[in-house]
């Protein structure tokens, strides 16, 4: 490796000051075209890359935003990969696998987080930031997120992924934006979605096609903020319709397709309701798997709905009615809020709530 070129090398080669080099790289339109071209030619010829650490010392900024996700166990189950043999050659040029259609399932939270990450990465790039990702796997002390906080200008975290006391300490050092959860009397910026309102309206649409019996609600984990908000919307519409909430059967899942299958098997054994409304798409798709195998007709025998709007919902048989979350937009909005907070640190906390889209498909539409 050759010695990296410095801003002084670029300035010397272009015959300008280091301040002019800095202006060209940061505000090119503010520099005369002939000077700008001379500087850019020098940058290209020397292979110069601006030093983020040096710029950070000068501006007291790192130019990096952090996005912290809770840990997941799926990666721990993957076998260790020895990429290179001792002589530098690949250990296995290729493998042959007989696909026997085994039951492989993506972690439901990762389907959501992948899209949030895409949005955050895109917006960070547009805003001129680098995005750092932290995953708190097997990290009860939250050392990962604390370590991140020392390396970024601001931090985005999923609701309830960091204990309140830890988050409060971090927020004294850097701005914090909380994603996908309702404000809880704190002073953080929040970016969330209209879970309660959308689920209430979907429930009204389902009740309009029911036979008078209340739908069964397939809930998610008890510690899920989104799951709780969806239950609140469902129950509000049930009470609004004059149905005693005690008459509603509530089953508990864990947002996985497997838990949806278990719920469907339980319903078949106990007797089918008028509808099954699931707190997410994965559980609803699992229920459809069982209903289809058992000869239960959807929507003729019962209606089924989900929530999230993942791609698989549009590919199921029948296609699944769902509520589409603006997952990419959620990540983008979080970065926008964080970037504005960095520029305006003393303004009041903001609460951004993104709208959802109810997508009606065959699984909830009975033909009259």
Predicted confidence at residue 366, as pLDDT, reads: 79
Question: Do 342 and 262 sit in the same domain of this protein?
Answer: no
Is residue 1 in a domain?
no
Question: Do 290 and 336 sit in the same domain of this protein?
Answer: no
Is residue 135 in a domain?
yes
Tokens of 231: 């239950």
Predicted confidence at residue 4, as pLDDT, reads: 76
Stronger pLDDT, 149 or 120, i.e. the higher one: 120
> What φ, ψ does residue 40 adopt, rounded to 5°?
-65, -35
Within 13 Å, how many C-alpha atoms sit on residue 270's CB side?
Answer: 11
Is residue 7 in a domain?
no
Domains held by the chain: number: 3
Predicted confidence at residue 142, as pLDDT, reads: 62
The answer to whether the CB of 59 falls within 8 A of the CB of 22 is no
Question: Do 218 and 168 sit in the same domain of this protein?
Answer: no
Cβ neighbours for 278, distance < 8 A, ≥ 6 positions apart: 218, 253, 260, 284, 287, 304, 305, 306, 307
Predicted confidence at residue 271, as pLDDT, reads: 93
Exposed / middle / buried, residue 152 (Cβ in 10 Å: 0-12, 13-18, 19+):
buried
Predicted confidence at residue 15, as pLDDT, reads: 93
Q: How far apart are CA 30 and CA 20, in angstroms?
A: 10
Beta bridge partner(s), residue 132: 66
Predicted confidence at residue 106, as pLDDT, reads: 54
Predicted confidence at residue 279, as pLDDT, reads: 96
For the chain, give the percent of residues with pLDDT over 70.
84
Question: What is the CB neighbour count within 10 angstroms for residue 40?
Answer: 17
Instruction: Determine the average pLDDT of the residues in 25-49.
Output: 86
Q: How far apart are CA 251 and CA 25, in angstroms?
A: 58
Question: Do 221 and 274 sit in the same domain of this protein?
Answer: yes
Q: Is the pLDDT of residue 151 over 70?
A: yes
Question: Do 76 and 220 sit in the same domain of this protein?
Answer: no
User: What's the sign of the alpha-carbon dihedral 161, 357, 185, 147?
Assistant: positive
Predicted confidence at residue 110, as pLDDT, reads: 62
* Residue pLDDT, tens place only, 223-276: 888 899 999 999 999 999 999 999 999 999 999 999 999 999 999 999 999 999
In this prediction, residue 76 has a pLDDT band, given cuts at 50, 70 and 90, of very low
Predicted confidence at residue 2, as pLDDT, reads: 59
Predicted confidence at residue 63, as pLDDT, reads: 84
Is residue 56 in a domain?
no
Cβ neighbours for 161, distance < 8 A, ≥ 6 positions apart: 68, 69, 70, 136
Lowest-pLDDT choice from 149-153, 181-185, 266-270, 339-343? 181-185
CATH number at residue 211: 3.40.50.2300
Strands 322-324 and 357-359: antiparallel
Question: Do 213 and 92 sit in the same domain of this protein?
Answer: no
């Amino acid at each position: 490796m050759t010695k990296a070129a410095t801003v002084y090398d670029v300035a010397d080669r272009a015959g300008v000051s280091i301040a002019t080099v800095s202006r060209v790289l940061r505000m090119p339109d503010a520099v005369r075209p002939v000077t700008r071209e001379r500087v850019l030619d020098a940058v290209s010829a020397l292979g110069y890359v601006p030093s983020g650490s040096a710029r950070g010392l000068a501006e007291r900024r790192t130019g990096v935003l952090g996005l912290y996700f809770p840990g997941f166990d799926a990666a721990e189950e993957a076998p260790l990969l020895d990429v290179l043999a001792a002589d530098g050659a690949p250990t296995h040029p290729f493998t042959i696998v007989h696909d026997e259609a085994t039951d492989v399932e993506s972690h439901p939270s990762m389907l959501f987080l992948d899209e949030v990450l895409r949005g955050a990465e895109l917006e960070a790039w547009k805003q001129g930031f680098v995005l750092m990702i932290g995953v708190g796997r097997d990290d009860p002390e939250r050392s990962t997120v604390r370590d991140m906080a020392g390396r970024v200008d601001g931090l985005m975290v999923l609701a309830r992924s960091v204990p309140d006391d830890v988050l409060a300490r971090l927020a004294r050092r850097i701005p914090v934006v909380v994603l996908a959860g309702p404000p809880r009397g704190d002073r953080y910026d929040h970016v969330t979605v209209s879970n309660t309102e959308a689920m209430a309206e979907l429930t009204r649409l389902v009740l309009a096609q029911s036979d008078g019996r209340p739908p069964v609600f397939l809930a998610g984990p008890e510690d899920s903020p989104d799951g709780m908000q969806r239950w609140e919307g469902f129950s509000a519409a049930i009470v609004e319709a004059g149905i005693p909430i005690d008459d509603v059967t509530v089953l508990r899942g864990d947002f996985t397709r497997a838990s949806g299958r278990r719920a469907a098997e339980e319903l078949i054994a106990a007797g089918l309701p008028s509808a099954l409304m699931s707190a997410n798409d994965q559980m609803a798709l699992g229920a459809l798997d069982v209903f289809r195998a058992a000869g239960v007709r959807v929507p003729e025998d019962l209606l089924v709905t989900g929530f999230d709007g993942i791609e698989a919902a549009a590919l199921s048989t029948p296609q699944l009615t769902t509520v589409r979350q603006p997952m990419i937009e959620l990540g983008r909005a979080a970065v926008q809020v964080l970037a504005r907070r960095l520029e305006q640190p003393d303004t009041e906390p903001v609460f951004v709530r993104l709208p959802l889209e109810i997508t009606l498909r065959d699984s909830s539409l009975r033909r009259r």
